[in-house]
């Protein structure tokens, strides 16, 4: 998932929070030096140790060659995000070999599942930032308070999706289709995922706590374990091996939540045994409005970004159902493949954010621009590779999902058309990261709203109603991305003019 900057009405508080990403990196370095978990910080002179304790993060962020720094910061994020994307992709692959209607059902329930992940991840971003900032200030009590209030908010999030699972799944499915078989599969899958969402909420909560103290290696282990468990259990539960009944879509959901619960258990263990920087105790616990407000001010924009995507997917599914359920399956496949393609770019972007933010605080505009430039180049190159694959081997990609002739006829032109948006997506993602790093997270939200709700859905709806041509509906994706990249570049140039260029001028004055 992407990180959002905190934006408040009080300018003083905004400036205080602006460098939270850079402080998180500093906290990671400090903790890694104590635990040896994630970063290699070596000394050659014992007499310099005290000084280095306070400046190791600054030296790394401000002096390490940019290419090496980006890789060292981004690689764990790339890996962890790819692992997260595997959950839904693996479910869809195995489910597609069970029944095409089951694949359609999983694609139909995806907006709700995506929103669930967005809520728990967004809340995690909020208390993660407060924990790392408090630890950087050497304020143990504030860090502990942020962790406790974060857990409290995550429990509320779980309760909401528990209620949706108990009372809302049937209505959610029927609002998109009237095909009874698809509804039944979707209700089975969605109800299990929502009612048992304590697994994903606990996993994300305690993984964020590990990340906030720099113990990213443990986070990678928990995510990898959950993904491996899911991959192993999926065929067993879906097709009914080793004497178990074939459970289809419900089996995929069971495999997913078991993997999440096991990963959550390991994350809890690591926090209790390997993470002394956070001391959890709920004795005399009570909700604290001030802390909760600070967490939500960071979390809500992040959740809103995901919610926009979920609304877009829900609306697009409804448009596609007016043509054929097969189109929904094709869109679901594209979304899964796109999520895998975008994860390395998101990982690079999330690595760039603290680097830009930190060097903004350090008044090093050249390093800020270099970080954006390197990330942009890498993102564009990678997205071009993904675009090439979608243009050259769309049939092979569809075959992974057991596509039959009717799906191939719709899917091949669909993948080729929608993937044109990859040309511009990398630029938009990196611009969004720059906005977040410089405290302009609202710009990212504006671009996302413009692309997915203001342009994409209305254009798709207009094409569907006016032309009844499915291939033109797919064209709404590159059209929306073109609008998005124009808006992103315009805002990026304005941000550079108002923030980075004045900083360069002030540095020149000081040097003179």
Tell me what the mean pLDDT of segment 63-69 comes to. 82
pLDDT band at 52 (very low <50, low <70, confident <90, very high): very low
The owner of tokens 């595997």 is 86
Sequence-separated (6 or more) residues with CB below 8 Å from residue 23: 132, 133, 136
Give ∠ CA 485-378-74 in degrees, rounded to 5.
110
Q: Is the per-residue pLDDT at 2 higher than 90?
A: no
Residues in the chain: 512
Quick check: is 22 in a domain? Answer: no
Q: Is the per-residue pLDDT at 80 higher than 80?
A: no
Q: Is the per-residue pLDDT at 354 higher than 90?
A: no
Quick check: is 407 in a domain? Answer: yes
Quick check: is 428 in a domain? Answer: yes
Higher-pLDDT residue of 93 and 358 is: 93
Q: Is the per-residue pLDDT at 512 higher than 80?
A: no
Query: How many domains would you assign to the chain?
Result: 1
According to the model, what pLDDT value does residue 126 have?
Answer: 85
CA 341 to chain centre: 13
* Burial class of residue 465 (count of CB atoms within 10 Å of its CB; 0-12, 13-18, 19+): exposed
Quick check: is 42 in a domain? Answer: no
Q: Please tell me what DSSP assigns to residue 420.
A: G
Quick check: is 242 in a domain? Answer: yes
pLDDT band at 29 (very low <50, low <70, confident <90, very high): very low
Give ∠ CA 3-125-226 in degrees, rounded to 5.
100
Element (H, E) at 480: helix 476-495
According to the model, what pLDDT value does residue 370 have?
Answer: 93
Domain with 464 in it = 65-507
Q: What is the pLDDT of residues 321-341, one digit of tens each?
A: 999 999 999 999 999 999 888
Tell me what the mean pLDDT of segment 289-311 comes to. 88
Q: Give which of 340, 95, 361, 422 is closest to 235, Cα–Cα.
A: 95
Tell me what the mean pLDDT of segment 443-470 comes to. 93
Q: Please tell me what DSSP assigns to residue 99.
A: -
pLDDT band at 74 (very low <50, low <70, confident <90, very high): confident
Quick check: is 148 in a domain? Answer: yes
Sequence-separated (6 or more) residues with CB below 8 Å from residue 386: 341, 419, 422
Quick check: is 76 in a domain? Answer: yes
Q: What is the pLDDT of residues 371-422, one digit of tens each?
A: 999 999 999 999 999 999 999 999 999 999 999 999 999 999 999 999 999 9
According to the model, what pLDDT value does residue 128 have?
Answer: 84
Q: What is the pLDDT of residues 170-221, one digit of tens each?
A: 999 999 999 999 999 999 999 999 999 999 999 999 998 988 777 878 888 8
Rounded to whole angstroms, what are the CA distances from 104 to 399, 452, 479, 497? 16, 22, 25, 47
pLDDT band at 311 (very low <50, low <70, confident <90, very high): very high
According to the model, what pLDDT value does residue 53 have?
Answer: 41
Mean pLDDT computed over every residue of the chain: 84
pLDDT band at 37 (very low <50, low <70, confident <90, very high): very low
Tell me what the mean pLDDT of segment 491-503 comes to. 90
Quick check: is 390 in a domain? Answer: yes
């Amino acid at each position: 998932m992407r990180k959002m900057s905190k934006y408040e009405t009080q300018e003083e508080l905004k400036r205080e929070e602006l460098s939270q990403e850079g402080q998180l990196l500093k906290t990671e370095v400090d903790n890694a030096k104590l635990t040896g978990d994630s970063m290699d910080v070596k000394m050659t002179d014992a007499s310099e140790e005290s000084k280095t304790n306070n400046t190791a993060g600054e030296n790394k962020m401000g002096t390490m060659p940019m290419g090496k720094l980006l890789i060292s910061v981004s690689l764990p994020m790339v890996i962890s995000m790819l692992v997260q994307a595997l959950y839904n992709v693996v479910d869809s692959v195995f489910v597609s070999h069970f029944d095409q209607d089951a694949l359609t059902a999983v694609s139909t329930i995806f907006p709700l599942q995506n929103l669930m992940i967005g809520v728990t991840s967004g809340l995690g971003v909020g208390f993660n930032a407060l924990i790392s900032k408090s630890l950087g200030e050497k304020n143990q009590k504030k860090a502990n308070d942020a962790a406790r209030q974060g857990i409290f908010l995550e429990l509320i999030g779980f309760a909401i999706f528990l209620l949706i699972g108990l009372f809302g799944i049937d209505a959610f499915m029927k609002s998109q289709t009237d095909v009874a078989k698809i509804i039944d599969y979707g209700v089975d899958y969605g109800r299990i995922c929502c009612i048992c969402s304590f697994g994903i909420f606990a996993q994300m909560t305690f993984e964020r706590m590990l990340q906030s103290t720099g113990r990213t290696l443990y986070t990678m282990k928990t995510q990898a374990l959950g993904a491996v468990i899911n991959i192993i259990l999926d065929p067993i539960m879906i097709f009914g091996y080793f004497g178990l009944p074939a459970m289809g879509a419900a089996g995929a959901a069971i495999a997913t939540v078991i993997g999440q619960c096991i990963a959550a258990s390991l994350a809890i263990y690591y926090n209790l045994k390997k993470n002394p920087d956070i001391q959890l105790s709920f004795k005399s616990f009570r909700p604290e409005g001030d802390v909760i407000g600070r967490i939500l001010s960071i979390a809500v924009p992040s959740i809103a970004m995901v919610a926009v995507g979920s609304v877009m997917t829900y609306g697009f599914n409804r448009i596609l159902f007016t043509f054929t359920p097969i189109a929904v399956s094709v869109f679901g496949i594209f979304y899964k493949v796109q999520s895998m393609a975008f994860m390395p770019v998101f990982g690079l972007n999330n690595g760039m954010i603290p680097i830009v933010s930190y060097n903004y605080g350090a008044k090093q505009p050249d390093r800020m621009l270099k970080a954006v430039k390197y990330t942009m180049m890498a993102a564009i190159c990678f997205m071009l590779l993904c675009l090439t694959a979608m243009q050259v081997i769309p049939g092979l990609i569809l075959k992974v999902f057991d596509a039959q002739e009717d799906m191939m006829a719709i899917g091949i032109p669909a993948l080729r058309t929608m993937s044109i948006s990859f040309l511009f997506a990398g630029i938009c993602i990196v611009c969004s990261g720059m906005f977040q790093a410089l405290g302009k997270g609202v710009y990212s939200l504006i671009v996302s709203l413009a692309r997915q709700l203001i342009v994409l859905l209305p254009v798709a709806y207009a094409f569907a109603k006016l032309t009844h041509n499915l291939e033109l509906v797919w064209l709404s994706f590159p059209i929306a991305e073109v609008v998005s990249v124009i808006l992103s570049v315009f805002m990026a140039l304005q941000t550079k003019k108002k923030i980075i260029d004045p900083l360069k001028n002030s540095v020149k004055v000081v040097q003179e």
